[in-house]
Amino acid sequence: MPLPKNFYDDVYKIVKKIPSGRVTSYGAIAEVLGAKGASRTVGYAMNKSHASPSIPAHRVVNRAGLLTGKHHFGSINEMESLLNKEGIRVINNKIQNFQEIFWNPIIELQKDIETSEIEFPE
């Protein structure tokens, strides 16, 4: 119960909770895990999780709303296509209403934290 065994596992868990039509940033996830500066590590976790289709990595973008990880999908248009299917408008690899559809795990996961569904260090 203490600290998360696998940082990656926590990342996946959070990413899976991202609702359709919403997006979040690597830094936000890292911050939830108590490692605000580990934003890069979060992205690296996705890279390793590319084999897990259950993880909507396309809903995770950088702070600027840019599809920085699109190049890592099967096809370059894969990520953008998935986002479009969810009603997210992407132009030139950038989410237009990023700020509006931004899904803040720090707030949304408060309930999960109470139910011990997600644990994070202090």
String of contacts with DNA for each residue 40-79, x by CB under 7 A:
xxxxx-xxxxx------xx-x-xxx---xx-xxx-----x
CB closer to DNA out of 21 and 121: 121
98 contacts DNA (rule: CB under 7 A):
no
93 contacts DNA (rule: CB under 7 A):
no
101 contacts DNA (rule: CB under 7 A):
no
| Residue 95: closest CA among 62, 72, 73, 47 | 62
38 contacts DNA (rule: CB under 7 A):
yes
Give me the DSSP letters along 6-34.
Answer: -HHHHHHHHHHTPPTT-BEEHHHHHHHTT
* Count of residues in contact with DNA, rule CB under 7 A: 33
* Contacts (Cβ under 8 Å, ≥6 apart) of 85: none
Residues that bind DNA (CB under 7 A): 6-8, 25-28, 35, 37-44, 46-50, 57-58, 60, 62-64, 68-69, 71-73, 79
